[in-house]
Structure 1
Amino acid sequence: MNAPFPASEKPSLRLLLAAPRGFCAGVDRAIEIVERALERFGKPVYVRHEIVHNRYVVDGLKAKGAVFVEELDQVPDGAQVVFSAHGVPKSVPAAATARGLDWLDATCPLVSKVHRQAERQIEAGRHILFIGHEGHPEVIGTMGQVPAGSITLVETVADVAGLDFPAGTPLAFLTQTTLSVDDTAEIVAALQARFPQIVAPKAEDICYATSNRQAAVKAIAPQCQLVLVIGAPNSSNSLRLVEVAERCGARAYLVQRATEIDPAWFDGVETMGLTAGASAPETLVNEVVDRIAQLRDVTVEQVVSAEENMVFKLPRQLLD
């Protein structure tokens, strides 16, 4: 597509590139699990649910021989199946084993840590209040770790006011790993005010990558009139980045690819920010920067607010 201005007349634009951004260690691991499974077992390898919430990544794995399904009953007998990074209820691997399927678990280790905490709280006789978004795969997976009726979902501060537990009921809270840090802090404060004896997790459940990416947006958004977040509409951590930017006073949009960018967004914009959710590859960041450079005379500045060096081990079935 031709630029709307001759090269010499394109308005200038300062682009602040948030860092860290994009892939986290859990996403890297999940993608590598599928790729290694394809190499080791041959295609097709079935994946229950999107391995991570990014269409570009999913399409790339499909091209290599991965087949994505929503439910286990769509997986043929004798096939190799991978569970997504978001985690699954206990019933899913149990059903896979009962059918004699070979399965690999790509659940992010930080999500698995929340699963184990949930089990421990139930063993200790506590009812769990789980802070998260209804219907998100991670929430479904975590709530499926414990018996029905032993965990209650809390989405908002208003939900806390509606909780009805007798005085003295042993309670604990846990959280989804990809929530808004600020919103979650408000809900936790409301829970602790309402139930002073509630047991907190030993460490923050919101993962390092979610916290770091939100902090990185906070570092750039106050200087920006516009912030673009590269991510999928069903990606919780990406949606939270849009919210963080808006709270800092910037207009913010979620885009999956450069083709979704509206040139009108840049009218009157002198400084913009760019980041990517934890399941968006750097390839898409470069694609978006190239598209913006067609529209404006861009000066890119990377703003680093944290360094990340986390690496997670692969499942033992894939280790040589």
Structure 2
Amino acid sequence: MRPMTRHKLTIRLCGPRGFCAGVDRAIQIVVLALKKYGAPVYVRHEIVHNRFVVEGLEAQGAVFVEELDEIPPEHHGQPVIFSAHGVPKSVPADAEGRNLFYLDATCPLVSKVHKQAMRHERLGRHVLLIGHRGHPEVIGTMGQLPEGAVTLIETVDDVDALSPADPEALGFVTQTTLSVDDTAQVITRLHERFPAITAPAAESICYATTNRQDAVKAAAPGCDLFAVVGAPNSSNSRRLVEVALKAGAERSILLQRASEIDWDDIGEISTLGLSAGASAPEVVVAEIIDAFRDRFDVTIELAETTQETENFLVNRELRDVELTIDDMAFVNGTN
């Protein structure tokens, strides 16, 4: 009996992919807090949008809550950590009112957007925030300013519907994880309608979002399927799915784990694009590659457009704690 031959598959593996410096820092903060203060350490909202990461931290003693009143009074001496997405000003104020010790894991690039929005408001401008309604980062950014000081813009149609009190006194910022191309269209329309509008002092969409989208654009043309590793509530991961389709992939899907792959639906593909959102660990990327190796004769092609060297320091309170090799493997998403 002749042995079955497996169909050849080229996997175009994007680089950069996976954890960004802000996600890496946020996970470090939780791991370091557990080492320094012991369990439980409370985290308000998912530290990053990835269940694999959240469950791994829960196994180490992290407890995830949506609101601070879920923390039992007997644990008010334990630290509570704010997620990488940022929080409204009311949250740290609430923590202080409850005498809670908190550590802020907000990504520095999100904090930069907060400062840009506050600067607009301080200079008398009404702030337009380009972003997705209900996303934690948008809630956090809008919560830096008084109610009514920010208007959320999601689409070009939203720009056309705007009737600001003073068209000469507007400033805009954006969520950090948006589609670069879609956001450019919104910004172009803002400038057309309101020539006096003030842009932020620096780009709001973060380097990691831009880099991952650029790599997907380079890899997607000619792909029978493009798979993005990420969670359904991860804005930057969902944008990668959209970018892959627009850049020429025949189909594009979002996967959290290899167990979600519908092999009947995938069929006999020849070229697979593969990337991962900024909160998706590399160990899951490897898991998905192995799943395809089990069924195909796989060749890996690296589609790398740039290398990232950014590194963000953790909170001062945690800099005296050292991570072990195993800790670093978890923080880096490789274990």
Q: What residue is the counterpart of 1:29 in the other structure?
A: 25
Moved more, 261-270 or 239-248: 261-270
The root-mean-square deviation of aligned C-alpha atoms, in Å, is 1.1
Deviation track 1:184-236 (CA, whole Å, cap 9, x = no partner) reads: 00000010100000000111100000000000000100031100000000000
1:92-171 map, 5 Å? 92-166=91-165, 168-171=167-170
Partner of 1:308: 308
Matched with 2:8 is 12
The answer for the alignment partner of 1:3 in structure 2 is none
Where does residue 192 of structure 2 map in the other structure?
A: 193
Shift of 1:303: 1.3
Please say if 1:51 is aligned against 2:51.
Answer: no
Instruction: Tell me, yes or no, if structure 1 residue 213 matches structure 2 residue 212.
Output: yes
Render the CA deviation track for 1:261-283: whole Å, top value 9, x for unaligned.
11124324211100000000100
Match of 1:89 in 2: 88
Partner SS state of residue 56, structure 2 = helix
Provide the secondary structure at the position in 2 that maps to 1:92: helix
Whole-angstrom distance in 1 between the partners of 2:305 and 2:11:
16
**Equivalence map 1:243-258=2 (5 Å):** 243-250=242-249, 251-258=251-258
Q: What is the Cα deviation at residue 80 of structure 1?
A: 1.4
- 2: distance between equivalents of 1:140 and 1:164? 22
1:150-299 matches, within 5 Å, as 150-166=149-165, 168-250=167-249, 251-299=251-299
Looking at structure 1, the residues matched to 68 and 124 of structure 2 have their Cα atoms a distance apart, in angstroms, of 32
TM-score (norm: length of structure 1): 0.96
Partner of 2:329: none
Task: Report deviation, 1:166.
Answer: 3.9
Q: Is the 8 Å Cα contact of residues 22 and 277 (structure 1) preserved in structure 2?
A: yes
CA contact (8 A) 1:229 1:254 kept: yes
Deviation (angstroms), 1:36: 0.3
* Residue 165 of structure 1: how far off its partner (Å): 1.5
Which residue number corresponds to residue 318 of structure 1? 318
Q: Is the 8 A contact 2:116 2:201 kept in 1?
A: no
> Is the counterpart of residue 38 in structure 1 residue 34 in structure 2?
yes
Say whether the 8 Å CA contact 1:263–1:295 is kept in structure 2: no
Does the residue aligned with 1:18 lie in a helix, a strand or coil?
Answer: strand
Residue of structure 1 in register with 2:65 after alignment? 69
Post-superposition offset of 1:98? 1.2
Across the two proteins, how many residue pairs are aligned to each other?
Answer: 315
Aligned to 2:331: none
Contact 2:168 2:194 in 1 (8 A): no
Residues in 2 aligned to 1:146 and 1:106: alpha-carbon distance in whole angstroms: 20
Q: d(CA) in 1 for partners of 2:303 and 2:167?
A: 48
CA distance in structure 2 between the partners assigned to 1:65 and 1:285 by the alignment: 25
Hey, what's the Cα distance between the residues in 2 that align with 1:190 and 1:147?
26
Separation of aligned partners in 2, 1:121 and 1:172: 6
What amino acid maps onto 1:157 in structure 2? V
Question: Once the 2 structures are TM-superposed, how far is the Cα of residue 313 of structure 1 from its aligned partner?
Answer: 0.7
Judged with a 3 Å threshold, the aligned counterparts in structure 2 of structure 1 residues 7 and 248 are, in CA distance, closer, same or farther, namely farther
Q: Structure 1 residues 122 and 14, CA, compared in 2 at 3 Å: closer, same or farther?
A: same
Residues 157 and 190 in structure 1, CA contact (< 8 A), matched pair in contact too? yes
Residue pair 2:168, 2:196 contacting (<8 A) in 1 also: no
Compute the displacement of 1:76 (Å).
2.4
Q: Are 2:217 and 2:247, in contact at CA under 8 Å, matched by a contact in 1?
A: yes
Aligned amino acid, residue 67 of structure 2: E
Cα distance in 1 for partners of 2:99, 2:203 equals: 37
TM-score (norm 2): 0.92
